Chain A
Amino acid sequence: MYPIVETEALSSAAHKLVVSAPAIAKKVLPGQFIMLRIDEEGERIPLTVNDSDPEAGTITLIFQPVGATTMQLETMKAGEALLDVVGPLGNPTELEGATRACVIGGGLGAAIAYPQAKWLHEHGISVDVIVGFRSKDIIILEDEFKAVADNLIIMTDDGSNGNQGFVNVGLQKQIDAGVDYDLVLAIGPVIMMKTVAEVTRPLGIKTLVSLNPIMIDGTGMCGGCRVKVGGEYKHACVDGPDFDGHQVDYDEVMRRNRQFTTQEAQARDHVCKLGR
């Protein structure tokens, strides 16, 4: 069992859990994820680790309550426990060698991209952060990002914070202003990562994207997370989750992610009816 130490609603679209998992906390690096299962009936779902505290033996998870499992997770309180937490899985993001980086997060992707921004900052690499949200009221981690970013640019889809546009617009502006990035990391909705990759492709800027396809075991066994990268199939769980953003077949990733739409709605109904 993995006790929940702390919970916090960061916004209506982002929820934070701090979970006791000492062995994982010691090992996890930016970009890696865990698989969790709440209880005997639960699914195994992948969540990227947002932060870790090796001394306290805890890891921080930030998620958006959208599916049966994440909705159930949102209702859990400190003192309750998760049945299974497996990790750290996947490969850490390759950040070494960068001199001027831009970390881009869309929505919940902002939370997922935070550890990389922090790592770059702590390793003396200059890093800009561009994060995008639907509107002003669901902006998260603003203080955390301010502390690590050379420049923090927050975009909103509806312009409610006075800076309307998607993250790719923010990135384009930086590039047009003459900032010479040698690494761009984009994490968020697939369509967002695709548009970011389109901005950097003509300029040949190394661009990494973090994929989060359907997974069951997370150890390379089920093949559910296969993604086409450079014409070849890779397993996001063991070969990723980061891939060269210019090589990913995003349309296929989006299509495969829709495979269980009907069942996902059913599972949500089931969880809601149980009053969880």
Chain B
Amino acid sequence: MATKYNMQAEKTPIAEQDPVVRASNFDEVALGYTLEEAINEANRCIQCPKKPCVSGCPVGVPIPEFMKELAEGNVARAYAIVRAANTLPAICGRVCPQETQCEGVCTRGRKGDPVGIGRLERFVADWALDNPEEAAAALAAYTQETEEGQEYTAQKLSQYKVALIGSGPASLTCAGELAKRGVKVTVFEALHAVGGVLVYGIPEFRLPKDLVAREVAAITDLGVTFEMDAVVGKLYTIEELREEQGFDAIFIGTGAGLPMYLGIEGEALNGVMVANELLTRVNLMKAFRFPEYHTPVYAGKKCVVVGGGNVAMDAARTAKRLGADVTIVYRRSMTEMPAREEEIHHAEEEGIHFNILTNPVRALGNDEGWIEGLECVRMELGEPDESGRRRPVEIEGSNFVIDCDMLVVAIGSRTNPLIGNTTEGLEVTKRGPIVVDEATGATSLPGVFAGGDVATGAATVILAMGAGKAAAKGIVDYLLQD
């Protein structure tokens, strides 16, 4: 069989909202492929025998098989292949750092662009959300064909109850995997919406919230129960969940929600906030629709965002949409910036300014205690540090002030200590994360598992999902050994 691959060197372009228009709305930036575009792009996969993309994927999506089906126009089948390995494909297609994972190792990428795997994952997932019945049938048929699928049906795990704490990507994945095997799953969420960072952190224009709700609905359909407004560690302890509520195992996926501060003078001035505050107000509480939604958000005219990660980009682009002129201040150079290339590119397109090799020294306030400027110092790059990146060093006497009436601190977050503090015997590292066996998610307490940012410190959605998937296997093994 001589399939003709599409040898076009560039990725098939994806339609996007015009940068000028989108910089003042919260609608999604990328608009997605048409069926023709998707088939054209899927045909760029040359079905290379080594499949580096599969090992590049934390949840092991069999990418070439999915490409093959899609190239032939079998969208339902392509979706089933993705969905069987990935509980949240519409989300991953949008927020995964494909350039450092599947696409980063794609054979086509050696000469020209890699295959647009993320865009295609998004395409099949969006198709499934619009065609739920056909999608469910295709998934059921595909699952029955696989060895793993048959194993699920054979296992009788419905006598077990497992509690998952937090409803972010790690827990949602773990929930989906356990429910597929018949386990009775209850997810406890502290906030009023399911999704964790997917709903409070990542903005609407990058990940529409109705889409998160639809992927969550698919997990609910598997029989997973969600208990909202439940702060574990306060309302129930881990011990109570096990002893009083009879859960056979627990998974902790509470993420890294605790903000870090710059520790500079003036950080408590009015108009200064951490990215979590800005993003939670806008994303979770819908402050961009104030006063119809009652939560307000402060937006200045001139905003500085400190940090170079994805959260910094999200904060900058959010402030821009609220009407501010935004400058990102980052202490290293563009090359070291941890944010995804696409996010940096989108931010630049939207008119965000970048002030690199710059570090804040103190925030200056006016008589009423509102911020009016950020004193910074210029940096230069020295020898590489333990992260392998060149260490930024202050250039003495290079201090200068950036005028601003809003400052957003986006320099990372730490794990929430609540469960660690209220669970005796749970081993936690000095810096906060819970100690786990990476392969199984097992913690120092038998029957208690953890994964995602709460175990690794702040990382990505897909790594959390990989950990949730691994922990589901670990939990099943634990339940069966009893």
Contacts and interface: CB of A to CB of B under 8 A. Distances in A.
Given A43-B294, A216-B285, A259-B298, A228 B268 contact: yes
Interface string A189-221: 000000000000000000000000000110111
A252 B284 CA distance: 27
B274 A222 contact: yes
Contacts of B235: 23-24, 27, 87-88
Contacts of A264: 296
Interface string A234-276: 0000100000000000001001101110011011011100000
Interface in B215-246: 228-231, 234-236
A217 B234 contact: no
Contact of A270 (B276, B292, B297): B292
B5 interface: no
Given A86-B190, A216-B285, A223 B294 contact: no
B165 to A, nearest CB: 12
Interface of A is mostly: mixed
B416 A222 contact: no
A221 B258 contact: yes
Contacts of B296: 260, 263-264, 266-267
Contacts of B228: 84
Nearest to B201: A221
B282 to A, nearest CB: 11
Given A222-B274, A226-B268, A256-B270, A87 B234 contact: yes
A42 interface: yes
Nearest to A91: B234
Nearest to A40: B293
A224 interface: yes
B259 interface: yes
B294 A219 contact: no
B273 interface: yes
B155 to A, nearest CB: 32
A41 B418 contact: no
Contacts of A270: 291-292, 294
A85 B229 contact: yes
B298 A252 contact: no
A83 interface: yes
Nearest to B228: A84
Nearest to B292: A41
B192 A83 contact: yes
Contact of B291 (A69, A222, A258, A266): A266
Nearest to A24: B235
A88 B234 contact: yes
A216 B231 contact: no
Given A43-B285, A221-B258, A223-B259, A68 B294 contact: yes
A15 interface: no
Contacts of B234: 27, 87-89
A41 B131 CA distance: 30
Interface in A63-109: 68-69, 83-89
A217 B235 CA distance: 15
Given A37-B192, A84-B192, A219-B418, A44 B295 contact: yes
Contacts of B259: 221-223
Interface in B260-285: 261, 267-268, 270-271, 273-274, 276-277, 280-281, 284-285
Contacts of A269: 291
Interface string A29-52: 000000001000111100000000
A41 B293 contact: yes
A23 B297 CA distance: 32
Nearest to B192: A84
- Pick from A89, A222, A233, A270 the residue with the most CB of B within 10 Å: A222
A219 B267 CA distance: 21
Given A220-B418, A263-B291, 20 more contacts: A23-B230, A27-B234, A41-B292, A84-B229, A85-B229, A86-B191, A86-B192, A87-B234, A87-B235, A217-B190, A221-B416, A222-B276, A223-B261, A224-B277, A226-B268, A252-B369, A256-B270, A267-B291, A270-B292, A270-B294
Interface of A: 23-24, 27, 37, 41-44, 68-69, 83-89, 216-217, 219-224, 226, 228, 233, 238, 252, 255-256, 258-260, 263-264, 266-267, 269-271
Q: Which 4 A-B pairs have the closest CB atoms?
A: A263-B296, A270-B291, A223-B274, A221-B257
17 contacts: A23-B235, A27-B234, A37-B192, A41-B294, A44-B295, A84-B228, A86-B190, A86-B230, A216-B281, A217-B284, A219-B416, A221-B200, A222-B259, A226-B268, A233-B267, A233-B268, A260-B298
Interface of B: 190-192, 200, 228-231, 234-236, 257-259, 261, 267-268, 270-271, 273-274, 276-277, 280-281, 284-286, 290-298, 368-369, 416, 418
